[in-house]
Amino acid sequence: AQTVTQSQPEMSVQEAETVTLSCTYDTSENNYYLFWYKQPPSRQMILVIRQEAYKQQNATENRFSVNFQKAAKSFSLKISDSQLGDTAMYFCASSTYNNNDMRFGAGTRLTVKP
Amino acid sequence: DTAVSQTPKYLVTQMGNDKSIKCEQNLGHDTMYWYKQDSKKFLKIMFSYNNKELIINETVPNRFSPKSPDKAHLNLHINSLELGDSAVYFCASSPIPGQGRRETQYFGPGTRLLVL
C-alpha cells in the first residue's frame, strides 16, 4: 500500500521568488514513480514533474525541480521565479511501477502574489 | 488534439436517478482510471481497467460500475445517486510501462456532478 502526505494545506509566495512544497510518502514497492500535478482553477490536472525512484538524479523541468530523498521518503517540489500562473493546487502522488495504482496527497494550495 | 475527454463537463441531477459519465482517450493507452475528487479536493482512485479487466476496485459502493466497450473508452455508470456522490470525477489513462512511452497518467478535464 502507498500513502502520500502533504503537510502544508496552503502556501503563498511573491512573484519571482522561490517556494518549496513538501511531500512525504510511504510505499512497500521497490520500484515506483513520484509525481507532482498542478490543478489550476480550471480544474484540469496537469503533470508538472515526474521522478523514477531508481534514478538518483533529481528531476527538473524548467523552473520546477524536485529534491528526492529516497531514504527519507521525501519528495519536495521547488518552484523558482514564481509566476502568477503558478497559482493552483499542487498534488504530490506516488505510483506503482506498472502505474496501475496512483495515490495522491491532500494537496497544497499555492498562491503567487504580485 | 484532445487526449482524454469526458462528457458531460457538468451534471446536475436528482437523488435516486441513474446517470453515466463517458470517457474517451485517443492516446492508444492500455489502462484507464476513474478518480473522485471531493469538496476538500481530496483525489481518490475508484477504478482501474486494463484490457477490459478490472484491476483496482477501492471501497466504492456497487452503485458505481465502470463499463469499457473498447480500449479507448471507460464509462462510469452510477445508479441510485445520493447526495454524497456530489464531486468532481476524473478519468485518466496511461500506457503499459516499458513500451518506450512515458509512464504517466493523463487526466481528462473532469465532470462536476451535483446531486440535489
Radius of gyration of chain A measured on its C-alpha atoms: 13
Stretches in chain B below the pLDDT threshold 70:
1-2, 97-103
Task: Please report residues of B whose CB lies closer than 8 A to that of A102.
Answer: 33, 45, 105
Q: Which chain A residues touch B if contact means CB-CB below 8 Å?
A: 33, 35, 37, 39, 42-45, 47, 50, 89, 91, 95, 97-104, 106-107
Task: Please report which confidence band the pLDDT of residue A99 belongs to, taking 50, 70 and 90 as the band edges.
Answer: low
**pLDDT tens digits, A19-78:** 999 999 999 888 899 999 999 988 899 999 999 898 889 999 999 999 999 999 999 999
The answer to whether residues B108 and B58 touch, using CB atoms and an 8 Å cutoff, is no
Q: Which chain B residues touch A if contact means CB-CB below 8 Å?
A: 31, 33, 40-45, 48, 50, 55-56, 88, 90, 92, 94-97, 102-107, 109-110, 112
- Exposure string of B42-73, with b = 16+ CB inside 10 Å and e = fewer, is ebebbbbbbeeeeebeeebeeebbbebeebee
**pLDDT tens digits, A10-22:** 999 999 999 999 9
Task: Please report residues of A whose CB lies closer than 8 A to that of B88.
Answer: 43
Q: What is the pLDDT of residue A29?
A: 85
The answer to whether residues A38 and A89 touch, using CB atoms and an 8 Å cutoff, is yes
Q: Which residue of A has its CA nearest to B57?
A: A101
How far apart (Å, rounded) are the C-alpha atoms in residues B66 and B78? 9
* Among A45, A50, A100, beta carbon nearest to B107: A45
How far apart (Å, rounded) are the C-alpha atoms in residues A72 and A25? 9
Whether A105 shows a pLDDT value over 90: the answer reads: yes
Mutate to test the interface with B, among A34, A99, A103, A104 (most CBs of B within 10 A): A99
